[in-house]
Amino acid sequence: MAGVAGSEATTISAAELTERLAPILAEYAGKDGAVISLLQDVQEEFGFLEPSAMTDVADALDLPVSHLYGVASFYSQFYFEPRGKNVVKVCTGTACHIRGAPAIQARLEEQLGIGPGETTADLKFTLETVNCVGCCALAPVVSINDRVLNRREQRKLKGWIQTERAEEPTSQEGAS
């Protein structure tokens, strides 16, 4: 089950949505074939493809919203639910699997209280599994926000998670 664990996604007001979306839509006005770039910018602004934003983008482009969802769902880079400030990825490729990735994943699931594809309710962490990070010599590998951690660095994960949890709550804007 993917999503935000234990909470509904936070919503933003229509006025805030319009204000934040207007410069993005203006940048792509009249440009054909820019749907993917536009969706990337929308996701960068909101941290995910916010449903109301998708509707507004579809209206601005005079396209059915289903077309935008069709494009976005084809690419794994797009997300339809909020993601955590910290995206923790566990490599499950062959080298990592053989060298202990399942145990690392189980430990992270326990420490974070979420499963793969889920985000903590405070929007501080998203846990994902990936097929290969491309650092097989360092296996098993975990990456946090695209920073690869080797086995020695992973020993500090529990303390890092506790430190991150103690920080101020993450706003929806900070999720990415």
With 0.85 as the threshold, say if the pTM is over it: no
Dist CA 117 CA 128 (whole Å):
5
Residue 120 CA to residue 98 CA, distance in Å, equals 28
The DSSP code for 100 is T
Tell me the angle at which helices 14-28 and 51-61 cross, rounded to the nearest 10 degrees. Answer: 40
| DSSP letter (8 states) at residue 149 | E
> Between the CA of residue 23 and those of 12, 68, 98, 149, what are the distances in Å?
17, 19, 48, 37
Q: In the CATH hierarchy, which fold is given to the domain comprising 86-174? A: Glutaredoxin (3.40.30)
pLDDT score recorded for residue 152: 85
Closest CA to 172 of 105, 83, 86, 92: 83
Q: Return the domain boundaries, the chain.
A: 12-74, 86-174
For residue 175, the model assigns a pLDDT of 41
Q: What pLDDT digit, counting tens, does each position of 14-56 carry?
A: 999 999 999 999 999 888 889 999 999 999 999 899 999 999 9
